[in-house]
Amino acid sequence: MLPIVLDLASLKAAYASGLTPLDLVEEVIARREDSDDPAVFITETPADDL
């Protein structure tokens, strides 16, 4: 499980603990789908493109 805030220090620690780029992308997609805030991204890239 990733921390709530995905700052550089948290991501560095997560990668050191075994996080993969695919894990990160899947988590970001899941968080985006769970969010009710349409202003999270200026332009939303389709999940299949990620």
Q: Where are the domains of the chain?
A: 8-49
Interval 17-29: pLDDT, tens: 999 999 999 999 9
Mean pLDDT value of segment 8-37: 93
Q: Considering the entire predicted model, what is its pTM?
A: 0.73
Sole residue written with tokens 């560095």: 12
Please report, in angstroms and rounded to a whole number, the separation of the first and last CA atoms in the chain.
20
Backbone phi and psi for residue 11, each to the nearest 5 degrees, phi listed first: -65, -40
The per-residue pLDDT for 35 is 86
